[in-house]
Structure 1
Amino acid sequence: MITYLPKQIECFKALSTDSPAQIVLYGGAAGGSKSFTGCAWQIMRRLHYAGSRGLIGRSKLDTLKKTTVKTFFEVAGMMNLRTGRDYELNGSTNVITFFNKSEIILKDLFQYPSDPVFDSLGGLELTDFYVDEVSQVTKKAIDVLRSRVRFKLNEFNLQPKALLTCNPSKGWLYNEFYDPWRNQTLPERYAFVQALPGDNPHLPESYLETLASLPEADRKRLLHGDWDFDESIDWLFKYDDLLRCFREELGTGEMFISADIARLGKDRTIICVWKGLQLFEIHELRKEPITTVVATIRNAINKHNVKLSNVIVDEDGVGGGACDLLRCRGFLNGGRARQPDKFTNQKAECYYKLAELIEQGKVILPVPKRDIITKELDMIRRKRPEADGKLAVTGKDEIKAMHGVSPDYADAIMMRMYFELSPNYGKYSYA
C-alpha cells in the first residue's frame, strides 16, 4: 500500500479525467519524487484501462533504463505487482506488457541529426505518455508525442493526457509553464504542480544538507526551486545589464534599420528602427509576402529619412529577395567576421559586440518589449570554443529546437551591430 504525498495527489488530480489539463508539469526541484510519481501514474493507467498503451521517455534510453525503469520496478513492487506474473519487460523491444494486454513503451527521445523531425515516433499510437527530466528533451519531441495520443481514447471516453517532470530550467518549459503559472495566465490545458524538497517528509536529513551545501546556483535551483536563477556559465548577456537597457531615453546619432526576415513563411519578420543605439520603433510581421515586408521597410526609410547605406537585412534565404528589391546591405549570419581569427562568423562577432555595448549601458531598448527581448537575448549563449579557439554563439535552429521559439527579435537587434564593427571602434571586451 502506497501513501502518496499531498503534492503527488495534487498531480494525480490534475491528470484525472475530471481535470481539463492535458499536459501536467510536475516537479521544479530535487527530492519531489518525480520519477516515482510518473511511474505510479503510468502503472495505474495501464491497470485501469485494459489494452491501453502508454510511453515512458527520456533523452537517452540507456539513462532511462538505469534510472526511471529502476524506479518503475520499485513502484510496481510496492503495488504488489510481480514481473513474470503481472507484467513482462522485453529487453529487445523495450516494451512492458501487463497481464491485461496494456503496454508501456520505453523510448529514447533525443533529437538525433539523422532524425530531426522524429520520424521514429511517427508510427506510434498512444493513450498517454510520461517524460522524465523533460528539460533534456526538445519541444519538438513533445509536440510529436502529443500528436500520437489517440489510441483507444474514444473507447474509454478519455482526453489526451501527458505528464512531464523536471528540475528548473530556462528553456521552453519556463516560457510555456512556469512563467505563465506564476503570472496566473497558464492556459487551462496546462497544469504545473511545484514539488519542493520540503514537501517530501521522507527525505533523509543528510540529503537536505547535501542540497544546502551545493554551490549557490545549484542550491537555488534544486533546493529552493528557483527558475529565475540560471546556473549556466555560458551567458552572453548579464540579466542586470539587460534590464538597464530598457529605459525612457532618446538616442543620438544617425538613423538605422535592421531587419530579420522570416524564412519560408515561418517565424516572424522583425524590423527595428534605430536612432543611434536607441531602438525606438519595431514592426512585427507574421507570414506576410516579401512584397509587404519590403513595403514596410521602405515606409520606415521614408518616414525617418534613413540612408539606404544604413539599412541592413538578413540575407539568408528569403531575406535575399528583400535585399535585392531594396538594394540595401545584406547580412549573412555565416559570413566572414571582421576579425576572422577570433570569431567563427559575422553573427557571433555582432552578438559579442552587442553584449559589450549592453554591458556599457550604451544600448537603449523599448520598455514595452522588455519581456520578449529579455527572454530572447537570454537564449543566446556562448558556445564552447571550437578546436581553432574561435568564439561562437548558439545557432537559430538549435535555439528553436530547445526553446520552441525562434529568437527573431534578438537577431534583428544583433544586426544593428554590423555598423559598429570597425577597426577603430574599441575592443571586444566581452570576448
Structure 2
Amino acid sequence: MESEQEINQVTFEPTTKQFKALEYLGDPITEEVLFGGGAGGGKTVLGCFWLITNCLKYPGSRWLMGRAILKSLKESTVKTLFDMLANTFHFEKDVHYHYNEQAGFIRFYNGSEIVFKDLFLYPSDPEFDSLGSHEYTGAFIDEIQQCTNKAKEIVLTRLRYKIDEFGIVGKLLMCSNPTKNFAYYDFYKPTLNKTIKKTRVFIQALIHTNPHIPKSYVESLKRREGVTRQRLLEGNWNYDTGEDALFDFDSIVDMFTNTVEDSEDRFLSADISRFGADKTVIIQWKGFFIEKIYVYAKQSTSEVAKEIERIAEQNHIPRSKIVIDEDGLGGGVVDQLPGTKGFVNNSRPIETRKDEITSNYANLKSQCYFLLAKFVNEGKIGIYKVNETIKGFIVEDLEQIRQKDIDKDGKLAVVSKQIIKESLGRST
C-alpha cells in the first residue's frame, strides 16, 4: 500500500483555534490540553483528526478515545471518527483499517490502534480497573464535563506506551463545554489568573471561530435562553446559575484552600446516605474547618455506631458534640449512642442567639443550608486536602442547593432531595 500517497490525500483545513491546539499537542512540554468553551467549536473533529494522524505517523502506537458513557461515545464521537476516516482521509473499511465492534477498537494497516473506553466512575470500580493493564501512547476524552477528575488522572497514568521509542510526550486532549468541575478550577480559572501549570493549556473555541458550522445551527442557539445560551453560544464559564443558587461557585472552590479561624472545639456530623445510595459519611470538624472525611460502603447501624464511637474516642469528642442525621437509617444509630444529637430534616428551626427570627425558615434543613451558605460565601469554612473524587462530589452537591419558590412570598426553603438527585443524575 502506498501509505504516503494515502496520507497526502487528506482534505482537512483546521480552524485557527484547532491549529493552535495541534501545535500544543505536538510540542515537547504540554501534557494536558483542554479545548472548547461552547457548542460548534470543532471539538470532536479536532480529537478525531489528532488521533488518526498520530496513528498514521507512529506505526504500532495505541490511542484511547473515551467518554463517560460508552454508548454515547459510539453514538456520537465514534460516528464522527468514521465520517472523518471516509471523507477526510478517504480510507476504506477493511482496507485501511479494521473495526472490531465487540472488542471496541479499530486497527490501522500499520498496526496502530484506537481503543474505545467507558470512563464513568462506577461505585463498583472506583480505581477504573476496567481499563485493565493497557498502556496508551496518548488519549482523547470527549465531553470531559461528564467525567470525574479521578477518571482523567487515571488515564494520565496510562500514557506511556512506546513514547520513548517515538520520542514524544504522552498527551491528553480533553474537549468540553463550559462546566463547573475540575475543567473550571484547574484550567479555565488558572488561565485567566495566569497561574496555570506549564504542562497544561486551555484553548477557548467558540462557534464563531468555526467557519464550517451551518448558519441555521447558530441561529438555533441564538434562540436559546438562560444558562443554555450562556454556555453553548457565548462560551461563558461563569454562567449565571440563577438567583436561586445558595452557594457562590468560587466560594465553594475556595473552601479547599481557605485558612479559617483556629479552634480547639471538635465535632462530628454523620450522614447515613451520602455520596451515593449505599454510602455512610462521617465528617470531623475542628471549629469551622473540616479536618477529615470518612466514607464507608454500606454498613449496619451497629457498625456505623461503633465507628462513630471509635473516631470520637480517638479525637476526644464528647457525644454532646456529635450530630447524626436521624431520618431513615440514622435513627437506629442515634438510639445506640445516647447523648448524641439527632438531626431531623423536617423539624422546626432552632432558636439561636444570632438568628432569632426562625419563623422565616420552613424547617431545620432549610435553616441549616441557608446558614451554611452564608458561612461558605463569607469564606469562613475550610476543608483539608481531600482527594479529587470527594472534592468533585462536594462541589457538585453544593452547587445544586437552591432556594425553593424564590418568586413567592413565604418561608425560606430549599428544593427537595429528589430534584437535586435528578439534576445530578445520582444520589446525594
Displacement of 1:338 in angstroms is 4.0
1:173 aligns with 2:178: no
Match of 2:207 among 197, 206, 220: 197
Q: Provide the C-alpha distance between the structure 2 equivalents of 1:258 and 1:136, rounded to a whole number of angstroms.
A: 36
Name the aligned partner's letter for residue 108 of structure 1.
D
The answer on whether the counterparts of 1:140 and 1:404 sit within 8 Å (CA) in structure 2 is: no
Residue of structure 1 equivalent to 2:323: 331
1:354 is paired with a residue whose SS is helix
TM-score (norm 1): 0.66
TM-score (norm 2): 0.67
Residue of structure 1 equivalent to 2:146: 136
Displacement of 1:100 in angstroms is 0.5
Residue of structure 1 equivalent to 2:165: 155
Residue of structure 2 equivalent to 1:401: 389
Name the aligned partner's letter for residue 141 of structure 1.
A
Match of 2:368 among 354, 372, 390: 354
Match of 2:82 among 73, 77, 83: 73
Displacement of 1:330 in angstroms is 1.4
Q: Report matched runs for 1:243-262 at 5 Å.
A: 257=265
Question: Aligned in 2, Cα 1:364/1:231: closer, same or farther, shift over 3 Å?
Answer: closer
Residue of structure 2 equivalent to 1:62: 71
Q: Provide the C-alpha distance between the structure 2 equivalents of 1:341 and 1:16, rounded to a whole number of angstroms.
A: 57
Identity %: 32
Q: Provide the C-alpha distance between the structure 1 equivalents of 2:111 and 2:240, rounded to a whole number of angstroms.
A: 44
Displacement of 1:58 in angstroms is 0.8
Q: Provide the C-alpha distance between the structure 2 equivalents of 1:241 and 1:96, rounded to a whole number of angstroms.
A: 42
Q: How many residues matched?
A: 331
Q: Provide the C-alpha distance between the structure 2 equivalents of 1:318 and 1:136, rounded to a whole number of angstroms.
A: 37
Residue of structure 1 equivalent to 2:312: 320
Residue of structure 2 equivalent to 1:271: 286
Mind listing any 5+ residue stretches in structure 1 that lack a counterpart?
247-254, 262-266, 274-281, 288-314, 344-348, 377-396, 411-425
1:7 aligns with 2:12: no
Residue of structure 2 equivalent to 1:51: 60
Question: Aligned in 2, Cα 1:97/1:240: closer, same or farther, shift over 3 Å?
Answer: closer
2:230 is paired with a residue whose SS is helix
Name the aligned partner's letter for residue 35 of structure 2.
Y
Name the aligned partner's letter for residue 369 of structure 2.
A
Question: Aligned in 2, Cα 1:332/1:73: closer, same or farther, shift over 3 Å?
Answer: same
Q: Provide the C-alpha distance between the structure 1 equivalents of 2:249 and 2:124, rounded to a whole number of angstroms.
A: 39
The answer on whether the counterparts of 1:28 and 1:195 sit within 8 Å (CA) in structure 2 is: yes
Residue of structure 1 equivalent to 2:48: 39
Displacement of 1:17 in angstroms is 3.0
The answer on whether the counterparts of 1:170 and 1:230 sit within 8 Å (CA) in structure 2 is: no
Cα distance per residue 1:270-291 (max 9 Å; x no partner): 6336xxxxxxxx6x8699xxxx
Q: Provide the C-alpha distance between the structure 2 equivalents of 1:285 and 1:403, rounded to a whole number of angstroms.
A: 13
Displacement of 1:107 in angstroms is 0.8
Residue of structure 2 equivalent to 1:226: 236
Q: Provide the C-alpha distance between the structure 2 equivalents of 1:177 and 1:124, rounded to a whole number of angstroms.
A: 27
Q: Provide the C-alpha distance between the structure 2 equivalents of 1:134 and 1:48, rounded to a whole number of angstroms.
A: 26
Q: Report matched runs for 1:403-422 at 5 Å.
A: 403-404=391-392
The answer on whether the counterparts of 1:316 and 1:332 sit within 8 Å (CA) in structure 2 is: no
1:7 is paired with a residue whose SS is helix
Question: Aligned in 2, Cα 1:272/1:340: closer, same or farther, shift over 3 Å?
Answer: closer
Residue of structure 1 equivalent to 2:192: 182
Q: Provide the C-alpha distance between the structure 2 equivalents of 1:155 and 1:183, rounded to a whole number of angstroms.
A: 37
Displacement of 1:155 in angstroms is 0.7
Q: Provide the C-alpha distance between the structure 1 equivalents of 2:218 and 2:167, rounded to a whole number of angstroms.
A: 43
